[in-house]
Amino acid sequence: MAQVPMINILEAALRHGYAVGAFNVHTPHEAAAVIRIHEQLRAPAIIQLIQPSAGFMGGREDFMNATSGEMRCGISRFCRLVRPMMEQASIPVALNLDHGNDPETAKICVDNGFSAVMIDGSHLSFEENAALTKQISDYAHRKGVTVEAELGVLAGREDHTGQSREIYTDPSRVCEFFETSGADCLALSYGTLHGPAKGGSLKIRKEIAIAAFENMRFNGKIRPLVSHGSSLVRPDIISEINARGGNLQNASGVPLAQLLEVIPYGIAKINIGTDIRLSILRSLREYFDLTPKARTSGITASVWERMCLEPGCIDERRLLAPIQQALIEYRDTEESRPLTALVEQAVGETAGELLVHFGQAGMAGTVIF
Is residue 98 flagged as an active site residue?
yes
d(CA 62, CA 52) in angstroms, rounded, equals 10
Distance, in Å, from the CA atom of 73 to the CA atom of 321, rounded to the nearest integer, reads 18
Residues across the chain? 369
Contacts of 331 (CB under 8 A, 6+ apart): 325
SS (H, E, C) the chain: CCECCHHHHHHHHHHHCCCEEEEEECCHHHHHHHHHHHHHCCCCEEEEEEHHHHHHHCCCCCHHHCCHHHHHHHHHHHHHHHHHHHHHCCCCEEEEEEEECCHHHHHHHHHCCCCEEEECCCCCCHHHHHHHHHHHHHHHHCCCCEEEEEECECEECECCECECCCECCCHHHHHHHHHHHCCCEEEECCCCCECCECCCCCCCCHHHHHHHHHHHHHCCCCCCEEECCCCCCCHHHHHHHHHCCCCCCCCECCCHHHHHHHHHHCEEEEEECHHHHHHHHHHHHHHHHHCHHHHCCHHHHHHHHHHHHCCCCCCHHHHCHHHHHHHHHCCCCCCCHHHHHHHHHHHHHHHHHHHHHCCCCCCHHHCCC
Choosing from 98, 159, 184, 275, which is the catalytic residue? 98
* Catalytic machinery residues: 98
